[in-house]
Amino acid sequence: MLKESLFRFPKSLKRTNFHYCPGCHHSLVHRILCEVIDELNLRERTIGIASIGCACFIYNYIDVDMVEAPHGRSCSAGTGIKRARPDLIVFTYQGDGDFAAIGLGDSLHAASRSERITAIMINNTVYGMTGGQASPTTVIGQKTTTTPFGRKPEEQGYPLKVVEILSNFEGVAYAARVAVNNPKRVMETKKAITKAFLAQLEDKGFAYVEVLSACPINWKMDPVSATKYVDKLTEIFPLGVFRETF
Q: What are the residues binding other proteins (CB under 8 A)?
A: 43-47, 49-50, 56-57, 59, 63-70, 73, 76-85, 88, 105-106, 109, 113
Q: Does residue 54 interact with ligand SF4 by CB under 6 A?
A: yes
Q: Does residue 230 interact with ligand SF4 by CB under 6 A?
A: no
Q: Which does 218 bind (CB under 5 to 8 A by kind): ligand SF4, other proteins, none?
A: ligand SF4
Q: What are phi and psi of 96, to 5 degrees?
A: -70, -35
Q: How far apart are CA 26 and CA 180, in angstroms?
A: 10
Helix, coil or strand: residue 50:
strand
Q: What are phi and psi of 117, to 5 degrees?
A: -130, 160
DSSP annotation of 16 reads S
User: What's the angle, vertex CA 58, arms to CA 55 and CA 63, rounded to 5?
Assistant: 165
# residues near ligand SF4 by CB under 6 A: 12
Closer to other proteins by CB, 50 or 217: give it: 50
Which range in 16-24, 31-39, 78-86, 100-108 contacts ligand SF4 by CB under 6 A?
A: 16-24
Q: Which does 217 bind (CB under 5 to 8 A by kind): ligand SF4, other proteins, none?
A: ligand SF4
The number of CA neighbours under 13 Å toward the Cβ of 53 is 33
Interface characters, 104-133, with ligand SF4 (x: CB under 6 A): --------------------x---xx----
Q: Does residue 97 interact with ligand SF4 by CB under 6 A?
A: no
Q: How far apart are CA 196 and CA 204, in angstroms?
A: 10
